Structure 1
């Protein structure tokens, strides 16, 4: 299957990376290489792209798609949150910029066999790295009712979380839930018909929640923000594209913590902890997709791009 993914906020993110043609840049969510192609296009033969993805198929597709560019390219199968070890393995201590596009790739959603989509019947999988052993089937069939309610409510922001969990427990007592189709039917049965008439597909939020749990997406993001900021060189930039409020909240909070690291109690008239920020904001508000982009790619609707820059001397 061909690896297709429409790169969201493409020109905005590439422009805001402020690319130095001889620099080292990381695409931590490589996918098929959409955003990476914009980076490679601006690098010369002395520049380097490091492409990271958990998905072997993505790395293979990106390597083929980026072959025409003459910059140095390094492809790594790993979690982007492990950036410090990835750089250490390459004998590198810093990078000039990085991009994280946190959306699930269209390829993964459209490839029914991967179990990410509630629109196609497939095994309950949802692993971004097919070599991992922990799957959506494990979550659905082994988590307690309390655990299921917690993740569906917290990660899916689903108001019917408790009822959906009850129905999942009841259903799996008859026989294990092993396919996306079975799970969708169970979720639909749990949500009252009046609530199913409006809004998104009734299974959307629960599928999102289970996918986040399977891939530890929020934990990975939380660890990654500081790790990337630590390895940025002077005036290097980190661009992060989020797709739902949970991701955006983490990015915003981590950025703010780094922008204001002072740990003094609020009642202190002056700072005595001596902690100073090593980063600065590039824009006051996140960049949102244009109407034109939304017409071409409705999946971009909830996307937000936030950018932060490492303080330092001009490169």
Structure 2
């Protein structure tokens, strides 16, 4: 049986091979890596899709879906900050990882287009461009909308352990976790909910901040953790102060991804220190339509 390690190249290996690929590939040969993030395109499972749900040869599904970029407002620098933790998880030091991505990404088609070397209009629909230009659909994500103190939160739901690097690969567990949450009607199985409406995507039990494993739980708040249904897990988030970020309205995958991108950028430059005691996405009545979602993301911070 082919192991996961031999079945796919790591991002580090892809970057090391990039000069050879660029020199030898012909017009008929599709790119070996996503032309947005550099992820190796090693199987059809990781390919993006066009408007008719057919695979495209030059982008991964995390960057390009339904004929458009999943995070159309992302800049190349945002992508660098997103990819650095993945390279660090693969053994590269942060300084080298950042320098490597800054050298690699400008050679990819998406960022060449941003530099004026190609037209990006073929990848982003007119409707999406109009939506992005509409002030009603925009959100200032450079800073949190507020700081909020919250008491301890008890959560019950489905959980897995994962890493940011894993979620950027074809082996990510978070989409499947959400799918199981809905298919198994987990919300209806929790007997003593504290708030039956809102749904949490909670990140906790961090091993090494953003660089290592963490626990992801999809569930709801409960009054007690004494009776956790079989097959489910629980998380107790301690009382904390949170920086709260509110997304724009838009398709679920786009607004969640771009809000996290903004959070990582803010975290690196704001001077506020993340506590890593438990962070969560909050889905409430604004999230009923997956094509027109608005969410809040709560980031625990250190009180100084």
Judging by fraction of residues, say which structure has more helix. 1
TM-score grouping bracket, smaller chain normalisation? under 0.3
Judging by fraction of residues, say which structure has more strand. 2
Q: Which has the larger radius of gyration?
A: 1
TM normalised by structure 2 equals 0.24
